[in-house]
Structures are given as C-alpha cells and as structure tokens.
Amino acid sequence: MSGYLPICREDLEKQNIEQLDFVFVIGDAYIDHPSFGPAIISRVLESNGYLVGIISQPDWKNPESVTILGKPRLAFLVCGGNMDSMVNHYYVSKKRRSIDAYTPGGEMGKRPDHATVVYGNLIRQTYKDIPIIIGGIEASLRRMAHYDYWSDSFKRSILLDSGANLISYGMGEKAIVEIADALNSGLEISDITFIKGTVYKTKDENLFYDEIRLPSYEQMKDQKRYYAESFKIQYDNTDPFTGKVLVEEYPNGVFVVQNPPQPPLSMQEMDDVYALPYMRNYPPSYEAAGGVPAISEIKFSLISNRGCFGGCNFCALTFHQGRTIQVRSHESIIEEAKKIIALPDFKGYIHDVGGPTANFRHLSCEKQLKYGVCKNKQCLFPKPCQNLYVDHSDYLKFLRKLRKLPGVKKVFVRSGIRFDYLLADSDDTFFRELVEHHISGQLKVAPEHIADPVLMRMGKPENSVYERFIRRYKKLNEQMGKNQFVVPYLMSSHPGSTLKEAVALAEYLRDFGYMPEQVQDFYPTPSTMSTVMYYTGIDPRDMKPVYVVKNPHEKMMQRALIQYRNPDNYDLVYEALVKAGRQDLIGFDKKCLIRPRKNATFHANKDTKTGRTSKTNVTKKKKTIRNVHGKKNKK
C-alpha cells in the first residue's frame, strides 16, 4: 500500500477497506517516519499482509473516539507516544509544560496523563472482549512494578492497570509479527504466552518454567529494599541470549510474567525495516494547525544504529533497546539519504547521523551474539573492558560516502558521542575527521558531572577522562585552525550528589570560565538504575545506601550552583555555600564564586583547602576571552 495509513472512515472507503486487522491508538500525532515507533510497527505489519489504521490522540473523555475506524478483526494496539506521557507533560519540577512537540501546532493537552492506561481502559469499556496489546516506551518501561515519580507512589505493572492482554516491550518488530500471526491462526490472546519480548498475566503457574521469581508486589511496596533487589535481577536479564523468564506475583494469585527479550535484528532485518514505504511526514490534514513540531528534529537526519553498551544509570536504553548494537548497512543509509536529498525543502545539510550513541557501530566484543553481554560487568565503566572492540572505521566510511553525495553540503553528527570510547581508539582518524567535517560549530557531549563519587553512581567515566578528551579536542581544533567548542550536558541532584559535589562542579565551571545556559535536574523516569536509587536510597549494584536529594529547596541550590553567575541565583548560591561551609568562595578573590552582599560586613575568606586567608578587594580590568567551551569569560 502506498500513501498514508487510514486515519478516518473516509480513508477506509477510499482504500476499499471493509475491516482493519489492527487499529493502532497512539498518543502522538501520526507521523509516518521511521523515527516513530507506531509508524515502524504499522508498516512492518502492513508488509506482512495485515491492514492497519491509526487513531491519533483520541478524545479520552469520549468512548466513541476509539470507534471511528470500526472494530478491528484481530486486536487494538496502543502506544502512549514517543515519550512517556508524564515526561511529555511535566518538567522535573512537576510543573506543566506549555508545548507538546508531538501534537499538531504544539498544542498541549491533547493526550491524558498515563496515556497508555487511559487509552487501554477506554477501549476496554467500548469493546469488552477485543485483544489489546500495548507497547512503546511508556509500556516497555512500566512493564513490571515500578516507581512513579509524578505521584510519588509504587505502581503495579502497567499491564494490570491498562486492561490490556499483552505487552510488547522493546522495539517490537519481531514480536508484533509473531503476535499477529498467532491471532490470525485462531489462537486466543490468553494462549499467547510463548513469544519473546512480551509480558502476559495469568493465574496458572503451569504456564511458565525455569523462571526467576522476583519479590512480590506486596513485598516491594512494603519494603523498598526488595524493589532494589528486584530491579537488579531485571537489569541482569535484559539480554536476549541469557535472559530468563521473570515472574512477579500480585494479590489474588495473579502473576505478571516477562518472557526473555527478542533477539536483536540482523543488518538485513534493520535494512528491511527502514526500506518500508514511509511517507516521511505527517498527513496534510495537520497543516491547518501548523504541522507537527517534532518533524523538524528528524526530517533531515539518519538513524544508523540501535542499542547502547554505554550503561549510564540514568538512561533506560538498556531496558528498552538493550546493550547489543544493531546497525544498518551503508547501502541502506545512503538510500535513505538520497530520499532526504530529494525533498523540496532540503538545503544541503544532513542534520545528524547516529542513534542512541552515534559512534557505536558494532558489538562491544565478539562473544555477545553467542554468550550475550556480561551480567555483572559493563563495557565502559568504570574503565573500558580489556575485551572491548574499539573501531570507528566503519562509521567513518559511510560518513565519507554521505559527504560525497550530490547536493550534500555538510553532514553533521549531533547524536551523543561517547567520548571515553572515542579516546579508547588508538587510531584518531575518526576524531580528526569529526572535528574537520562533522561539527556545526559546537560538539555536544555528556560528561554529566565532574565529581567522581557522583560519576560512579551515574555509571560514567572519571572526570580525568573528560579532561583528556577536552585537551585532545582543543589541540585538534588548533591544528586545523578551527574555532569550535564543546557544549557539555550537566546534571544536578543525581543520587550521590551532596552540596559538596555540587560546589565542586561550580568550581570546575569557574576554572573553565563556562556557565551552561541549560542544566538538567535529575529526572526520575521509570525503570532506570538511578530512579531506583532515588526511590529506595539504595544502589542496586552493591545494595549500599546512597545520598538522595529530595528536598525541592536543596535541589534548587544544587542547580543554582551550576549557574552561579546568573544574578537570579545569587540568594540560592549564597545559602548553598554557607550551608556547605564554603564561605571562602564568597568574596572578591578570583577564586570566589560570588561577592558578598551589598552593605554586608566583609570578613576574611579562609580557603578550606589551603587554610590561607585572603582579604583581596582589588577590581582587575575585565578581559574578554573564549575557552574551549565557546563562552565569553570576564576576568
């Protein structure tokens, strides 16, 4: 089938469709592009002979809104959106966002909170016996009992609260075809308990075997330590080659059963997915509202890989895409690039070529496809594994091919570059060409923090690695006569960060002469190691206590310290320094972060590290310079 998938009754009539096999209810606007999960799943089903229609952002207050395409022959599919609906709606402060980039015109409020749960129950009210299969990031990361930051509560598996029959977790292409074929063969949804990458509910203990029993929901709800233990077991079973069946018990004899993950897609399977006939845009009917803002981020970008062996504890990629890298062929990527070039509004710039981590193009070691990833060892943390396979040559080869395509002026790399992996490569050819050809004036990297105790809780490399990267980056720019900068992503209030570490980060930024315009306060999203630390106060990796900032005022102080030069933050920075016992950083010395309050009695500043006292009150002539981070400094 060519053109957009049916989104209304008129589309069904135009395409002579009497009944769809699947109706897909989604929380986003419908964008037929391979950067959007519903588009991929729908096109994969279509390529396997199934008819699929889309109901985008139905009115959750009106049950009739899920009937506009009629009753599907096989099942309803439900996806809350490309983001968890709560992240989509709220800042970490829990204040409501004003714009929804996945809605026509950016209008906020077109989907409900906990969209997957609401849509599932809406369908169940209307069609009592129809199979409902939920998927996407919201369902995937809430597939077992989990902490919900927005309600500050411990919630059951989303499978129980949504009224659905089955969860397809992870990326889902293989699982959804197996589910469709099983339903099409006449199997009841209650009998589909054998498909990898799915979660089902049952009262029959004979349906599963060789399982790992997780702590029960009631145990975890009563004692947080049990949840930390459960999460570590789940984390260790996210690999498709070694993962076991996991069972979570609920009251009244109900079991939520998670089958092992689906195996990773081969290169050919990846190519097949991205070669499907996507329209690469939203339907014209959205134009009246101003289009869908999210398209601008991906319209001229290319996805080259999936998965991530980086192992950052605040990231949910391990739970959703897994640690095994899956890649597309050069030919597949080039073919998609040609489609981008042919677009009438293409200006010659490919905005990004990458994935979760741009410079991961192959397995981290050769044993993974036979033995799986290591359960109790990370590839890059705390140091790169001695078995780590480090090679950027394949990534570099197709970047060179893209640069040579007619009509291409520049190919940018804006996905995350894992700088510790980059430095582990003894051949710096890629690093050189990255600096020379693929940076749009500034390179975004994610050191996240500089205090090693915090970095350890984050699963990030020591700060010395980032400093070595900065020195090498600066040297390469100087050799090439370029004036390009680094924009570091920094995070405040991550578990393990006290005011001491927050002040250390402020001092580091002072020495670099850099104040970030944006700072991410740690956001406890479902199913990350860091979120479990936040909720339980325990690091699941070693079961040791972790300091957690939950007081909103202290969180504001930690955040303000990163932007200590902002006059609006003065009071918070002053309070934080006093509370941390770092009054030595309040004064007129060049090492001070802020000056004393006006009309305040000036006291000698004692450096807590050296013990020296300074009463310097000299105003030096200000000199504007630039550093590697690309910001003007006043000294």
In a domain, 83, yes or no: yes
- Paired with 625 in beta bridges are 633
**What pLDDT sits at residue 427?**
96
- pLDDT at 416 exceeding the cut of 90: no
Task: State percent of the chain over pLDDT 90.
Answer: 88
Residues 164 and 38 in one domain: yes
Q: Can you tell me the mean pLDDT for 8-29? A: 97
* DSSP letters for 201-267: EES-GGG--SEEEPPPHHHHHH-HHHHHHHHHHHHTT--TTT--EEEEEEGGGEEEEEPPPPPPPPH
Q: Which pLDDT value is given to residue 559?
A: 96
Point out which residues pair with 55 in neighbouring strands. 25
| Per-residue confidence (pLDDT) for residue 630, from 0 to 100 | 53
Mean pLDDT of 475-498: 95
Looking at per-residue pLDDT, the higher value among 191 and 606 belongs to 191
Query: Can you point out the beta strands (E) in 27-99?
Result: 52-56, 75-79
**Band of residue 1 on the pLDDT scale cut at 50, 70, 90:** very low
The predicted pLDDT at position 513 comes to: 84
Round to whole Å and give the CA distance between 556 and 569: 9
CB 528 within 8 A of CB 215: no
User: Is 566 contained in some domain?
Assistant: no
515-530 pLDDT per residue, tens: 888 789 999 999 999 9
Average pLDDT, the chain: 93
| Cβ contact 414:446 at 8 Å | no
d(CA 461, CA 132): 42
Tokens for 83, please give them: 């983001």
- Whether 551 is covered by a domain: the verdict is no
Q: What pLDDT score does 376 carry?
A: 85
Q: What is the domain range of residue 45?
A: 9-195
185 lies in the same domain as 310: no
Pairwise CA distance, residues 541 & 175, whole Å: 30
pTM value? 0.92
Q: What is the pairing mode between strands 211-213 and 538-539?
A: unpaired
Confidence band, pLDDT 50/70/90 cuts, at residue 205: very high
Residues 356, 307 contacting (CB under 8 angstroms): yes
CA distance 506 to 629: 15
Strand partners, 213: 247
- 508 SS3 class: helix
Residue 518, pLDDT score: 79
pLDDT in tens, 229-274: 999 999 999 999 999 999 999 999 999 999 999 999 999 999 999 9
Q: What was the pLDDT predicted at 468?
A: 97
**102-116, 228-242, 612-626: the lowest-pLDDT one:** 612-626
Q: Average pLDDT for residues 197-225, to the nearest whole number? A: 97
Last residue of a domain, one of 195, 212, 246: 195
Q: What is the pLDDT of residue 634?
A: 44
- Same domain as 173, residue 26: yes
- pLDDT at residue 624 tops 90: no
pLDDT at 609 over 50: no
Q: Is residue 226 part of a domain?
A: no
Q: End of a domain among 195, 213, 233?
A: 195
Please tell me the distance from the alpha carbon of residue 562 to that of residue 518, in angstroms, as a whole number: 9
The 10 Å CB-count burial string (b at 16+, else e) for 553-584 is ebbbbbbbbbbbbeeebeebbbbbbeebebbb
- Cβ neighbors of 10 (< 8 A, separation 6 or more) are none
The pLDDT value given to residue 463: 96
Q: Based on DSSP, count helices (H) and strands (E) in the chain, helices before strands.
A: 23, 26
Cα dihedral: 513, 469, 324, 351 (round 10)? 60
Select from 151, 179, 195 the last residue of a domain: 195
Could you give the CA distance from residue 260 to residue 232 in angstroms, rounded to a whole number?
15
Decide if 293 is inside a domain: no
Tell me what the mean pLDDT of segment 480-490 comes to: 92
Question: Is 473 part of a structural domain of the chain?
Answer: no
Beta-carbon contacts of residue 35 (< 8 Å; ≥ 6 apart): 298, 301, 303
Give the whole-number percent of the chain exceeding pLDDT 70.
94
pLDDT at 629 over 80: no
> What is the per-residue pLDDT across 346-390, written as a single tens digit (0 to 9) for each?
999 999 999 999 999 999 998 888 889 998 899 999 999 999 999
Q: Which residues contact 611 (CB under 8 A, 6 or more apart)?
A: none
Q: How far apart are CA 391 and CA 425, in angstroms?
A: 6
530-552 residue pLDDT tens: 999 999 999 999 999 999 999 99
Q: Which residues of 225-239 are buried (b: 16+ CB within 10 A; e: fewer)?
A: bbbbbbbbebbbbbb
575-598: per-residue pLDDT in tens?
999 999 999 999 999 999 999 987
When divided into structural domains, the chain yields a total of 2
Q: Is residue 175 part of a domain?
A: yes
Q: In what order do the strands lie in the sheet with 198-202?
A: 52-56, 22-26, 75-79, 132-135, 166-168, 198-202, 254-258, 245-250, 211-213
pLDDT at 517: 80
Q: What is the mean pLDDT of residues 183-187?
A: 98
Do residues 31 and 167 share a domain? yes
Residue 480's CB is within 10 A of a number of other CB atoms, namely: 12
Give residue 514's pLDDT.
82
Residue 155: per-residue pLDDT:
98
Q: In this predicted model, what pLDDT tens digit does every residue of 29-72 receive, in sequence order?
A: 999 999 999 999 999 999 999 999 999 999 999 999 999 999 99
For residue 411, which of 302, 488, 326, 331 has the smallest C-alpha distance?
Answer: 302
pLDDT per residue over 281-326, tens digit each?
A: 999 999 999 999 999 989 999 999 999 999 999 999 988 999 999 9
Q: Indicate if the pLDDT at residue 620 is higher than 90.
A: no
Question: What is the CATH number for 368?
Answer: 3.30.750.210
**CA–CA dist 91, 240 (Å, integer):** 34
| Local confidence band at 120 (pLDDT 50, 70, 90 cut-offs) | very high
What local confidence, expressed as pLDDT, does residue 507 receive?
Answer: 96
Per-residue tokens: 365? 């070691």
Are 174 and 319 in a shared domain? no
Cα 143 to Cα 159: distance, rounded to the nearest angstrom: 7
Long-range CB pairs of 582-586 (<8 Å, 24+ gap) are 582/503, 582/608, 584/608, 585/503, 585/506, 585/507
CATH number of residue 25's parent domain = 3.40.50.2300
Q: Is residue 184 part of a domain?
A: yes
